[in-house]
Amino acid sequence: MEERIKEARKALGWSQADLARRMYVTQPSVADWESGRKAPHTKNLARLAIMLGVNFEWLSTGLGKMISSSTLSTQESTTNDWILPEELSLLSTYSRLKPKQRTALLGFLESLE
């Protein structure tokens, strides 16, 4: 799993610090995942697949294709059939925002209800 995490992170052009910030973990945690010293908790593994835009099964087991979740239709997805492509796009965009921008976006979205 450690090589798959690193491969997907590098494919996005992210440093370990970039991924850590998006995952709300420390950079040493990401380094531990990528070295195999520790594995991500299950909740982090699911979020990691979303953040990296990869298939959960591929990331966790090496089986299946690395296919970006954002390119899968709901019908084609086995692991991500619970989330729409628009939701993945929103999560990806949200992860790149600064804290104040996130707060503003959440406030705006809550005002739409």
Domain locations along the chain: 2-111
Q: Which CATH number, 1.20.1560.10, 2.60.40.10, 3.30.565.10, 1.10.260.40, labels domain 2-111?
A: 1.10.260.40
pLDDT tens per residue across span 43-59? 888 889 988 888 888 89
Nearest-angstrom CA–CA distance, 86 and 72: 11
pLDDT tens per residue across span 73-110? 433 444 444 455 677 677 777 877 888 998 999 899 88
Instruction: With CA atoms as reference, report the closest residue to 40 among 50, 25, 22, 21.
Output: 25
